[in-house]
Structure 1
Amino acid sequence: MIRKSISGVLVLVLCATSLIAQSVDRVFANINSIYDEQNPVLSPDGQTLYFTRSHHPGNVGGVIDKGDIWYSTLMVDHQWSTPKNAKNLNNKEWNGVIGFSKDGSIMYLHNHYTESNGIVRTQGIAKVTKQGGGWSSPKDINIPYYKNLSDNFGGYISKDEKVLVMSLESYGTKGGEDLYIMLKKENGTWGEPRNLGSTINTPFQEFSPFLSDDGKILYFSSNGLGGKGSSDIFMSERLDDSWRSWSTPSPLDHVNTKGREKYYRTYENFALYSSTINSDGYSDLKIYTEKPVDSLMKVAEPTEQLDTVVQIVEVEKETIEAAPNAITVYGKVLDADTKMHIAAIVTVERKGNYKKEVPAADDNGYYSLSIPAAGTYEIRIDAPGYISKRESLDVYTNEMKLVEVNYTLQPISVGTTVKLENVLFQQSTSNILESSYEELDLVIDLMKQNPSMKIRLEGHTDNRGLPKHNLRLSKKRAEAVEQYLIKHGISSKRVSGKGYGGSKPIADNDDPEKRKLNRRVEFTIVKE
């Protein structure tokens, strides 16, 4: 009787273990591929998984790209969706997510993004902030004496954004890569990297570090501490506040194999990591848990907020339907040079009583949103790396249910010239009309988001009147715009102005309708 009871329990345990294993295997069925998947990082709300994929033809640098950030969303069946390339977060360097602020509004990224002649010449980390349904352009963060000679990347930032631990081959490195700590000072700047010491770092490689929420437990990968395979995951306890006194690292035998394990991160009741075991030679994403996966990852319940923040991200033109008692506006946002679609945020506003944002589709789709009634709306289009645009949309009838409106944005690059179509002046004067302020504010936003950018303002007139008077008027108008920008926080060193009179027409001066196109103010980017 006793033997039968033990046998029955054993069978139940084995069945339960088998079911959990099968459930674990299917979690990443849509993600793991013949390519290299690594560095899994879960968003604070648990609904989006970011990871780095290497050598994929869809990467920014193609199949030779060392790694782009991709993302996937949690579906109702507790699997992750087919991943997409997070295009605006990637360049030709190795790109990966380090971590998030506690509320998820800020995401920290590996490497710098500011390019000179198409090459990223500085190292470090960068951050992006939530903007509508997407992320802002990456902004480089300065860390003194930051250097990494290794092609292996890995790091973690604490939720309070005050502690950064990274794997670097840098000053004082004992082997291939060592682990370093960087602490944020009271003034908001970062201190220089400090080696974690010889208990953690060996003459071999230590990389992909992660800290527990309380900052006491360090998880990392190493091939210099023994283990089962080419690199294993270890844990160590911090013994004091010096960040150099640690307990002897112990291996995580429940996840280590003969393969290469790294990028281990713990979450409530489970951990994510990558491993080459039972894969195609490259890394696959893995999950470790002792509980049923379906009980761990819960899809967010729909909320009333969905009524005001449109969630349509990817639709085909044929599937767009008119909403009842409303007008549906749809279309694409295109790169002005390549005519390819780009990921953007389209904001529709009617002063005083209506405002709505919607992400333009980033994968061959259309943006689509419903506006409640006929009227005049202001449309603003924003995309990281592009010059924002603001236009009016006049809808005169409720009978027209579908309205297609496509937009083009100019990429930010030296030599790009932008016509300020809605910047107007009182006739024959340099007095800026109040209706021009919104467009000028877009220029101010652009320059604040790109603090190294410099522009040259250019004033133009048609050819009527005395050339000398036209030249003087065009110069004064450029100066008036320059003063507006300076008054609103843009350094005078970043703005210059010049008047050309009627010497550079863009339309026929003999045609009364076309002539007015020559009366314009433009700016040209002279430095990014």
Structure 2
Amino acid sequence: MGVRICILLIFVSTLTFAQKVKWASQVISVSSEYKDPLLGREYRALHALGRPSKYPKMSATPSAWQSMTADNPDGEYLLVGFDTTMAVKQIAIFENFGAGSISSVEGLDQNNKIYPIRTFFPGYNLSSSQVTTIRLPTKTSFKLKGLKISFNSLRVKGYSQVDAIGISDSDDPIESSLKLTTDANAFLARENLGNVINSKFNEICPVVSPDGQKLYFTRWKHPDNLGANKNQDIWVSNWQPDRTWSKPTLYPAPLNNEENNAVCGISPNGKTLLLNNVYGKDGTMEKGVSFSFLLRTGEWSFPKALKIVNFKNKSEYSEYTLAPDGKVLLMTTESKDTYGGKDIYVSFLNADDTWSEPKNVGPVVNTGESESTPFIAPDGVTMYFSSSGHVGYGNNDIFLSRRLDDTWQNWSAPENLGPIVNTPQWDGYFSVSAKGDFAYFSSTENSMGAEDIFRIKIPEKAKPLTLVQMTGQVINQKTKEAMSARIVIKAKGNPSDTLSIDYDPYSGDYSFMWPAKKAFTIQVKKAGYFSKLENFDYSTSTNFLAINRNFFLQTVEKNKAYIFANVSFDQGKADLKPGFEAEADKVVALLAENAQYKLLLEGHTDNQGDWNDNLKLSIERVENVKNYLISKGVEANRIQTKGWGGSKPLANNLLEDTRKSNRRVEFTLIAIE
């Protein structure tokens, strides 16, 4: 009988260091991986990368690497790399199923030199699923770049799986970095919404409107549902002044019919609903997603299908969520390139009103098991979703991940939302309002019947970004009546971060959400009117802000002289003083939006000094303004200039306080003949 473990070494350190755990991030080479034409990418070697998916409840999973054959006499191997090279003291291999087949572990340095680290003899496993740990007395003499794990497949009958591979420069157990909190105070106690909302039937899919005033949800098999089979129908409840939810009402046709109906999302202004399925005029339903719009009559339009290019879904179910700008759609589908089960995909609105071919959001979020019920918070950055493929408390937990860039394919490592939200059962459908105070979700744990709707007060770590909600109207300054206009919101320092609204007063106030931490500009423009351009900065705000802001636009009249506001001059000087750009840029925008006009610039001075010198000075002032406008793209042939010296004062020249207003430049719009 051979020795079962090659060496057992114990090392005690008198110093405590912060543990640095790195997970395998690249498959360099693999002997084989399990493939099935009926599956996606389940069981592939890529599932050995990143954090484990099943710890501590380790079991067979498609979110782990599995070789193509169960018992290969030639053996198998897996060679993985890490995104950071470092000397290590500890290696942890998460053998999710069929543990006991590892024969050796070797290290790869930066020069691709192989170093033996540990040999394993038959019978080292204590169970069929375990964390197999190598602890070294001192750090490796080389910086480890990769690990090669070799397997003797005949040692353990049947398939073996590896879920994750971690390395550390510390003695602290690597698995301790994965411990889930058991502190019930991590979240305040969850609250069942009670028998006003919940019943002995299923209440699922809660979606709270961005302003927090409406709660949409789905009831299944409720006796008041439409149709003989009482399939899923949409219900809505209103938030009342006494801070309770009203008795819900059943939505009428066409949003509800005899098939399964559900609200997936709501636009920031509450006037567009995203609905599951495609509605046929004959009452039938197909896989897909639709929009319904609030009409001026107060009714909802017949749902209009979103045309998603090359949309395919092998699963019977799919969920959808719409980003607050209305231009990005997240969905769950199952296809041949999914990592396993349903994955989360992203699609973008095209110029022709179709939606781009869905792209997988990547393996940080998606696993070899199913992801479902994604919800993009009103900040457009924070995503809540449920999954059975990340470390959790039950068979399906709710997680949080934040978008890292504008590709929508780079996400932060998912964070489990904790033991009050997540239970040993199935948990999902997590939804928050723009205020970020409460979250709503579905659960069977301690429910009144089947699935119920619960809410919790969200702790800081799980909140979406603090938001500003701005609402209001665009108003004709002369008539005081609301009018249509285009509103463009841009992040300062990042002009590509833009939101555009075509405001229609017949649809009510404009409304949009914006992260408070990002300073922004708002430009309001309409042909025949002076544009408004204003700056906003709420970066110091830590709580949700609701701001009502009206914009007044002034009519542009031809052959009428206007003074450049904030364009002033020192006595005897023609230099433009700092701060003139904003007003000058409004004229640039005005000319861009009104190609039928050209510009007359007229310069003026006060009466101090020689008359001829003042005439020359007025021309120089006009030329400086003209040159700036040209530098911003205005064609030189659209600008005429004239200097008047001090011959046309606006105010008394006796005092400096009034005399300085005579040092000015005026502009007049003239029709192009």
For Structure 1 versus Structure 2, the TM-score category normalised by the shorter chain is 0.3 to 0.5
More helix per residue: 1 or 2? 1
TM-score, normalised to structure 2, is: 0.38
Between Structure 1 and Structure 2, whose CA radius of gyration is higher?
A: 2
